[in-house]
Amino acid sequence: MRRYFFFILLGTSLTGAAPGPKPHPQIAGVVSEISAQKIEASIRKLVSFGTRHTLSDTTSEAHGIGAARRWLQAEFERYAKDSGGRLEVTMDEFTQPPGERNPQPVQVVNVVATLPGEQAEARDRIYVVSGHYDSRVSDPMNATADAPGANDDASGVAAVLEMARVMSKRKWDATLVFMAVAGEEQGLFGSTHWAKMAQEKNWNVAGMITNDIIGSSHADDGKIDDQHVRLFAEGVPPLQEMPAKWRQQTKTGGENDSPARELARFIKTTGERYVPGMTVNIIYRKDRYLRGGDHSPFLEAGFAAVRLTEPNENFKHQHQDVREEEGVQYGDLPEFDDFAYIAQVARINAASLGALALAPAAPAGVEMETKELTNDTTLHWQENREPDLAGYEVLWRETTSPFWQHELSTGQVTRFTVPRISKDNFLFGVAAVDQDGNRSPAVYPAPSAK
Ligand SMILES: [Zn+2]
């Protein structure tokens, strides 16, 4: 009896932490089913094609990028069978005109597996997760030398395959797109093609995660860190001409509340809740210093997109000819991958994508009321019509804090006042919540004309 009483106390007041939403059993199931062994097998298979250079052989069944993509297609199709035919596999093929890193036109193929959402009102909302299956050595034009690309980026592709395998057996409200793209190393060809197509077709890509170099927990100085992953998230893009939406965002101090950074906060909170022991380090930058990846074209197309990468890159194992020099092994070999670590990063992805695809859409038309000068804060937004909607939450934090500090449930309303908390002193966001407690990412309010 005494012990029971103590437990209750510990569980409620002594920790001081606000109770987070309960883990969703379907997401917990996905996280526990992700297998490091399956990821290792996929990486070793991808490495076995010798090179996956975008300009490499496409006709051999055992060697080059053509064999690699046919294997990827067959893998996705296997999962499609297990999904009861719900997972749809397509080869998104196009001709890339000649450019700096492809003197001849080249056929580029993205291998894409789409799991349509089960809820009619949410099916148009799409979340994309990607890795790039092409690889390279020291010379970006060398299409014949062995380019194992075990980390860059078989690690990301293997994680995407594993997510597709586990998540496609289950049902989600919104649509999930699992993508292995090509042409990354030659100039982001595959991701650019798909992101532009999505923009032209007006698809609602509500979030995108690219996994690129998530393979190693060993730093070049020998330190081991298998408990962190870097999440790169852009704020306001450095455009020559600032569009009105970004001007409005910066005018009100919202430079850290771009959709990509709201997505990053969501991934950190969700990933860390479902994968204990892992920390997601958000970096307020589009990518590593002056470098790029497959999330870049999605950002340029106006979608919220972020990049996951291991904590410490080893440049002896990246974009290098496989060789030994003065007793040092160079090259992107599978022996430098940590398959258990990659599985942890895949779990962070899967938990986040699952939570996004079960949650309602982030509220639209979120505005801060500014007509009257007051020390209260009033926000309004458009009604969300998804059938499982429970209501909304208003979140806020100090302007110097990176993460939400306070939240209030509003119930089923589309206008809410937080009394005695001034918009002058805090940053606000509004999220939508469903009946199971799944919460959308937050939306930064635009100042209302009214
Ligand atoms: Zn890469």
Kindly give the confidence (pLDDT) of every residue in the chain, 450 residues in length, as a single tens digit, with 9 standing for 90 and above. 344 433 333 333 333 334 456 789 999 999 999 999 999 999 999 999 999 999 999 999 999 999 999 999 999 999 999 999 999 999 999 999 999 999 999 999 999 999 999 999 999 999 999 999 999 999 999 999 999 999 999 999 999 999 999 999 999 999 999 999 999 999 999 999 999 999 999 999 999 999 999 999 999 898 999 999 999 999 999 999 999 999 999 999 999 999 999 999 999 999 999 999 999 999 999 999 999 999 999 999 999 999 999 999 999 999 999 999 999 999 999 999 999 999 999 999 999 999 999 999 999 999 999 988 999 999 999 999 999 999 999 999 999 999 999 999 999 999 999 999 999 999 999 999 999 999 999 999 999 976
Q: Which residues are bridge partners to 417 per DSSP?
A: 378
First to last CA, the chain: 58
Q: 344 CA to middle of ligand 1, Å?
A: 19
Cα-based angle 194, 167, 211 (whole degrees, multiple of 5): 45
Strands 204-211 and 279-283: unpaired
Q: 57 CA to middle of ligand 1, Å?
A: 20
Q: 366 CA to middle of ligand 1, Å?
A: 36
Helix (H, G, I), strand (E, B), or coil: what is residue 113? strand
Q: 272 CA to middle of ligand 1, Å?
A: 24
Q: Which residues contact 289 (CB under 8 A, 6 or more apart)?
A: none
- Locate the DSSP E strands across 143-277: 175-181, 204-211, 228-232
Q: 292 CA to middle of ligand 1, Å?
A: 9
Question: In the structure encoding, which two tokens stand for residue 224, read together?
Answer: 């081991």
Question: How many angstroms separate the CA atoms of 27 and 347, rounded?
Answer: 10
Q: Which residues surround ligand 1, an ion (CB under 5 A)?
A: 152-153, 212
- Yes or no: say if 170 and 101 are a contact pair by the CB < 8 Å rule: no
Helix (H, G, I), strand (E, B), or coil: what is residue 403? coil
Helix (H, G, I), strand (E, B), or coil: what is residue 396? strand
Q: 212 CA to middle of ligand 1, Å?
A: 5
Burial class (CB in 10 A: 0-12, 13-18, 19+), 185: buried
At position 211, the amino acid (one-letter code) is N
Question: Cα separations (Å) of 131 from 75, 177, 211, 346, 392?
Answer: 15, 12, 5, 11, 33
Helix (H, G, I), strand (E, B), or coil: what is residue 65? helix
φ/ψ (deg, to 5) at 406 = -140, 150
